[in-house]
Amino acid sequence: MRFGAHISIAGKIYQVAERAKRIGCNTAQIFSRNPRGWQLKELLSDEVKRLKDDLERFDIHPLIVHIPYLPNLASPKIGLYLKSVNALEEDLKRSEVLGAPYLVTHIGSFGESSREEGLERVSEGINTAFNRIKNEVILLLENTAGAGRELGSRFEEIAKIIENIKEKERIGICLDTCHGFVSGYDFRTKKAVSETLKLFDNLIGLKKLKVVHANDSKSPMGSRIDRHWHIGKGYIGEEGFRALLHHPAMRNLPIIIETPFKESGDDVSNLAILRKLAK
């Protein structure tokens, strides 16, 4: 089990390694570009080489890339949908360049169409991207909080998307504990964790679980309100995270925090709590 955080790429991309090391990460997640725009900043070969060298030197792996916020693979708006598929293709390529084995994506919102049509568009968009971009990067679908017309809050929906993916070996799951909790899955006790992961296994398969976003929740279970909170200080609590981290399915997974960051010690503190609970 390896612990890390989402790390800023401000400045030079290679600065990620030092930032991750400074707060005690031995895995890390990044955006490969501006998360709130469509523009691409070229990845310079000398900077990428330095990043890879420093990550290896600091024993930080795997590097995980997260797709920006704007793409929506479920959108019924053709312009946005095509831009989203293109963004997925670009990030598949950029992940390979960066040496990241995993690319995390939000599933998207179905807008004014039907839920079923949205699920079909997601699968079709992924199939299109996989057909155009041939590499070994595994795309991870992140479960959502289920607000509004979001897709992917239920394990059944994620299973349906995967069912229609042609190259299934290229798809996996990033499980976000806060999103899962506010969408109705319980993580508060050993029994609850066991039952939730058993359901996940039955519907999707634990072998598909590649990354965990460990976030406590400032909102109650089933509220569908996505508010990440500090480990042990939210509605999931320390008992829940202790149970999760001791579950056999977590043994070799990268655990990434996306908890609030207001002071320089926040990430250090949250990572320390996770490591304590994992003992």
CATH of residue 264's domain is 3.20.20.150
Q: What is the pLDDT, as a whole number, of residue 245? A: 98
Per-residue pLDDT at 263 exceeds 80 = no
Alpha-carbon distance 44 to 104, whole Å?
22
Per-residue pLDDT at 262 exceeds 90 = no
Compute the average pLDDT of residues 161-181: 99
**pLDDT tens per residue across span 1-47:** 999 999 999 999 999 999 999 999 999 999 999 999 999 999 999 99
Alpha-carbon distance 203 to 26, whole Å?
31
25 sits in the region (left: phi over 0; alpha: psi -120 to 50; else beta) called beta
Share of the chain above pLDDT 90, in %: 97
Q: What is the pLDDT, as a whole number, of residue 191? A: 99
Among all chains, which residue has been given the structure tokens 């939210």? 234
Residues noted as catalytic: 36, 66, 69, 106, 142, 176, 179, 213, 226, 228, 258
Mean pLDDT of all residues in the chain?
A: 97
Question: 179-198 b/e with 16+ CB inside 10 Å = b?
Answer: bbbbbebbbbeeebbeebbe
Compute the average pLDDT of residues 74-99: 98
- Parallel/antiparallel/unpaired status of strands 27-31 and 209-213: unpaired
DSSP 139: E
Locate all alpha helices (DSSP H) within 109-189, ordered by sequence.
115-132, 155-163, 177-182
Per-residue pLDDT at 261 exceeds 90 = no
Q: Residue 12 belongs to what domain range?
A: 2-278
Total domains in the fold of the chain: 1
Four-residue CA torsion sign, 251, 253, 254, 260: negative
**pLDDT tens per residue across span 219-253:** 999 999 999 999 999 999 999 999 999 999 999 99
pTM over 0.95: yes
